[in-house]
Amino acid sequence: MGRLNFAEAVEAFTDLIQLAIWNRIHRVEDAVWDPRGKRALFEGMDVKKPNILFLGAADGYEAMQLLAMYPGGHAVLVDYDDFCRTDRFGKFPESYPFLGQDPSTGHYKTYRRADMDIDFDVADIRDLKYGKEFDIVISVGLIEHFPDEHKPHAIEFHRRFLKPGG
């Protein structure tokens, strides 16, 4: 048995810690980015036919998942980039299945984008003229695009459009 090389031990321990951190991050990311994780985040809300505002919507995936889980609602997707309207949302696969519930039977049902009431507004969120009319206001991957000193304002944009109790 050889002598303990302290530098190699530190390097091995550092690698082990980095691997543990990497695994932890990916478990958290999977909970957010995996469709099952997103469904779990949205389950249990007390809403029927929600009016949804999605800020920084890109392809609108999360709003479509919400509309499948709480059918009969309406979503307004907002993104400042017209490419998101024409390509990311506009070319979102029509056949992509969203699992929800059929309110008439209570059984699971598959919804598609064409089954949903969705509008897309190309605008800067700072210029929106909506009132407090939405049951749900969401964003995914939006807040980090604001400088730290503006993050509270970005969060306030979400609150500004929520109905009381939303």
Flag whether pLDDT at 93 surpasses 60: yes
CA 14/CA 129 separation, integer angstroms: 51
Residue range(s) in the chain whose domain bears CATH number 3.40.50.150: 40-160
**What per-residue confidence (pLDDT) applies to 132?**
96
CA 124/CA 143 separation, integer angstroms: 14
Q: Contact 60/118 with Cβ under 8 angstroms?
A: yes
Query: Cα–chain-centroid distance for residue 143?
Result: 12
* DSSP code at position 5: -
Flag whether pLDDT at 31 surpasses 80: no
The CATH homologous superfamily to which domain 40-160 belongs is: Vaccinia Virus protein VP39 (3.40.50.150)
Flag whether pLDDT at 9 surpasses 80: no
Flag whether pLDDT at 29 surpasses 60: no
Cα–Cα distances (Å) from 28 to 31, 101, 127, 145, in that order, read 5, 26, 33, 20
What is the average pLDDT across 114-123? 98
- pLDDT tens per residue, range 36-66: 778 888 888 899 999 999 999 999 999 999 9
